[in-house]
Structure 1
């Protein structure tokens, strides 16, 4: 169907492609949108390491090496001579050519992973809210892929640790160390994962959305792949390599000291930086509990929360925080999980 609409192109070969009613089924296009600070870099490393093995199973992969090398340029307009519409049209053409090439190679599924499709973590910090522009951005990507997106996977993470990780990276790159007022703005911003998922679903109506809790899938890229594609035996090469971790307190103190910043704002202690006080932490954890409750209750039919990890035991991968409303009984137990 796709190729027949492209003048001068031949129908892609159906060898080794799933058949249904004697017709060649279109390749599934699966977007992995991150979010940032949910082990997306580790997942991309895993996919890159297993690219050939996955291709042999009919699964293709585009990572940032592809998506940020011009293929998606213009989906989100940039300053220049061409209008936003012209930029999008040119991007549609490039994407169509690459998709045709993938189908012609016999791929049944194509996983595209780039967390920047939904925005930038630093923009979240400027807005004091999570992915405000995800709806507008993803509507443009849905257009650019000509409505062919089959499935979307989005990872979510407890807001207290998500913001802490995002801020740790920002501070390490020159951002000021936030004060209490800055932290309060993050807590009271009023936008949570439920809002992000709702905006995403509105932008890509009819597309299956799977939500993967970071607390379950952080170190299990092969299980993320299983949830996205349904592959029974995902490869394990590079599955336990964890990349791009946030800098710890010792690293942050060194960086802030070198540039003459206010080291005292980082607080005391060692290990992971925990910038929020107890009340702020409780408020953010309460928000996450509400998000998970909504997701586990069906998310108003907009998305599916998955916490299944196949044969992996809870001892190896701690269970997700509770999915009932209200504050947990043991905050420290939840923090460790």
Structure 2
């Protein structure tokens, strides 16, 4: 029985992929594939805290016991799938790489990914046969991560984080290297978030190993897990100046009463990178895509981003990467 990991990353369409897997649970089951979604995994406190528990296990018997319990639960669930005649388990959890809010606070790009993955590798019931990773242009990734994380976490204003985010050197190729180092035998599939608008069913089929002769996988008809609107960030910071730590339903209620009186333009500049910073990010991302197309760390790039709109400097960088050898479609056999 094969283990397939969907590692995210955050804000790259991984939730849309999860939704495809969930809504096609019956078809996947008929094909011998079962799905362990992140919502189910996160109900287990030990799974959420596996990295921290691993760091404490040598000196804290309670941490070691919690890890042993988690390992046993995963093994039992794996055995149950085998007894049902499954040929593959699809496990999805982007937090195995790290957390968005921590990345933003540190001004670092999944800095502990390798150590975190080693901790989870020791707990999984089998070595993964295949691993999927979505990537995204850096500027859009950071802005989306910030907008999504801010309602849930106390973060500084984006203008105070910008310099650190643009200065840090880690990126997608480093993350792929980390994954390949921890799981050297796994097939590593990579796709750009920018391609999922048309490639979502093909990517889902390729990742899962879904049979080409089976009924086509269906996809969501609307956008999934979108980040909050741009104007919310300034409102959230204003509200937290009066009520520190405001979150959850109370924050949403307060936001609802303020949105009508404020325009989205109020904090757009605060959340954006400069044109120069965007060009730098776009150049890095184009280089990453070209390296992935060349098989960086054994990865396979299975989709390519759409062509840039006229006048889109960032997109032109991606087009240049495509021209250097990465512009091919997903295998049509997987696009059923």
Question: Which of 77, 88, 93 is 2:72 aligned to?
Answer: 93
Question: Which of 173, 176, 181 is 2:156 aligned to?
Answer: 176
Note if contact 1:219-1:240 (Cα within 8 Å) is conserved in structure 2.
Answer: no
Structure 2: how far apart are the matches of 1:234 and 1:120?
Answer: 36
Residues 278 and 74 (structure 1), Cα distance of their counterparts in 2 relative to 1, 3 Å cut: closer
Corresponding position of 1:36: 10
Structure 1: how far apart are the matches of 2:11 and 2:108?
Answer: 15
Note if contact 1:32-1:111 (Cα within 8 Å) is conserved in structure 2.
Answer: yes
> Structure 1 length as normaliser, TM-score?
0.76
Structure 1: how far apart are the matches of 2:17 and 2:141?
Answer: 17
Further displaced range: 217-226 or 203-212: 217-226
Count of residues in correspondence between the two structures: 291
Structure 1 unaligned spans of 5+: 1-26, 309-317, 322-327
Further displaced range: 157-166 or 204-213: 204-213
CA shift for structure 1 position 53: 2.5
Residues 274 and 28 (structure 1), Cα distance of their counterparts in 2 relative to 1, 3 Å cut: same
User: What are the superposed Cα offsets for residues 50-85 of structure 1, whole Å, 9 maximum, x if unpaired?
Assistant: 212211221110002321122735632337953554
Question: Which of 230, 233, 243 is 1:252 aligned to?
Answer: 233
Corresponding position of 1:6: none
Structure 2: how far apart are the matches of 1:166 and 1:280?
Answer: 17
Question: Which of 23, 45, 49 is 2:23 aligned to?
Answer: 49
Corresponding position of 2:101: 122
CA shift for structure 1 position 274: 5.1
Note if contact 1:31-1:112 (Cα within 8 Å) is conserved in structure 2.
Answer: yes
Structure 2 unaligned spans of 5+: 243-262, 320-336
Structure 2: how far apart are the matches of 1:271 and 1:238?
Answer: 32
Residues 177 and 159 (structure 1), Cα distance of their counterparts in 2 relative to 1, 3 Å cut: same
Residues 256 and 133 (structure 1), Cα distance of their counterparts in 2 relative to 1, 3 Å cut: same
> Structure 2 length as normaliser, TM-score?
0.76
Corresponding position of 1:305: 301
Question: Which of 29, 38, 43 is 1:64 aligned to?
Answer: 38
Corresponding position of 1:331: 313
Corresponding position of 1:8: none
CA RMSD of aligned residues (A): 3.2
User: What are the superposed Cα offsets for residues 94-143 of structure 1, whole Å, 9 maximum, x if unpaired?
Assistant: 11111010011111111111111111111111221211111111112222
Note if contact 1:142-1:148 (Cα within 8 Å) is conserved in structure 2.
Answer: yes
The DSSP-based 3-state class of the residue aligned with 1:77 is helix
Note if contact 2:229-2:264 (Cα within 8 Å) is conserved in structure 1.
Answer: no
Residues 28 and 152 (structure 1), Cα distance of their counterparts in 2 relative to 1, 3 Å cut: same
User: What are the superposed Cα offsets for residues 188-215 of structure 1, whole Å, 9 maximum, x if unpaired?
Assistant: 1111111111111111121111111111
The DSSP-based 3-state class of the residue aligned with 1:212 is strand
Note if contact 1:164-1:273 (Cα within 8 Å) is conserved in structure 2.
Answer: no
Structure 1: how far apart are the matches of 2:147 and 2:133?
Answer: 22
Residues 191 and 56 (structure 1), Cα distance of their counterparts in 2 relative to 1, 3 Å cut: same
The DSSP-based 3-state class of the residue aligned with 1:112 is strand
